[in-house]
């Protein structure tokens, strides 16, 4: 069963789905910056880390290989993968820590900055998403695949 866009009630294309993920995480990072209690920070950081873990996995499993095949743009693909690797390391550190750690807020803030840069790279006018739209990628079919895999991964993490 395909996940539907809440706003439109119809399946999202791959770029719309990935951008919606970006907006959600940006919102949580902004809330984290304003949060004052350890419990709120812990909850927001957990949501951010889970969302980014799922997002990077669906991009790396489905979107990036399709992008590389369609565009042959190894440079853009490789840069995105390297950016993901850096974020994954920081996510792991945050998940193994808690707000009582002196560096917790700094780690979440640095992760936020890394993600802002990555999102800007993907969404800019000559970025990965624009190149994907210009290519022969079937973004509607990819959107369905991404939504299905995302739902599976979220189910798996909820059960864990």
pLDDT (tens digit per residue) in 83-116: 999 999 999 999 999 999 999 999 999 999 999 9
Reduced to 3 states, what is the DSSP secondary structure of residue 99?
Answer: coil
CB count within 10 Å of CB 54 equals: 19
What pLDDT is attached to residue 9? 55
HSE-CB of 1 using CA atoms within 13 angstroms: 4
Reduced to 3 states, what is the DSSP secondary structure of residue 62?
Answer: helix
Q: What tokens does 102 get?
A: 């002196």
Residue of 7, 1, 155, 145 whose CA lies nearest to 63: 145
pTM of the model: 0.91
Average pLDDT over residues 63-71: 97
Pure H helices in 59-73: 64-71
The rounded distance, in Å, linking the Cα atoms of 135 and 125 is 14
Which one is predicted more confidently, 11 or 66? 66
* pLDDT interval class at 12 (50, 70, 90): confident
Average pLDDT over residues 4-16: 67
CA angle in degrees (0–180, nearest 5) for 157-114-131: 90
DSSP code for 102 = T
What pLDDT is attached to residue 159? 80
What pLDDT is attached to residue 157? 83
């Amino acid at each position: 069963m395909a996940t539907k866009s809440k706003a439109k009630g119809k399946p999202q294309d791959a770029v719309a789905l990935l951008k919606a993920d970006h907006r959600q995480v940006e919102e949580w990072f902004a809330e984290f910056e304003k949060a004052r209690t350890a419990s709120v920070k812990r909850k927001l950081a957990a949501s951010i880390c889970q969302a980014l873990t799922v997002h990077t996995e669906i991009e790396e499993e489905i979107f990036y290989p399709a992008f590389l095949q369609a565009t042959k743009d190894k440079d853009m693909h490789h840069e995105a993968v390297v950016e993901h690797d850096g974020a994954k390391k920081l996510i792991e550190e945050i998940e193994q820590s808690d707000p009582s750690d002196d560096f917790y807020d700094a780690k979440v803030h640095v992760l936020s900055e890394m993600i802002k840069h990555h999102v800007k790279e993907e969404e800019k006018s000559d970025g990965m998403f624009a190149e994907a739209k210009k290519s022969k990628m079937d973004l509607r079919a990819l959107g369905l695949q991404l939504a299905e895999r995302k739902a599976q991964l979220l189910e798996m993490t909820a059960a864990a």
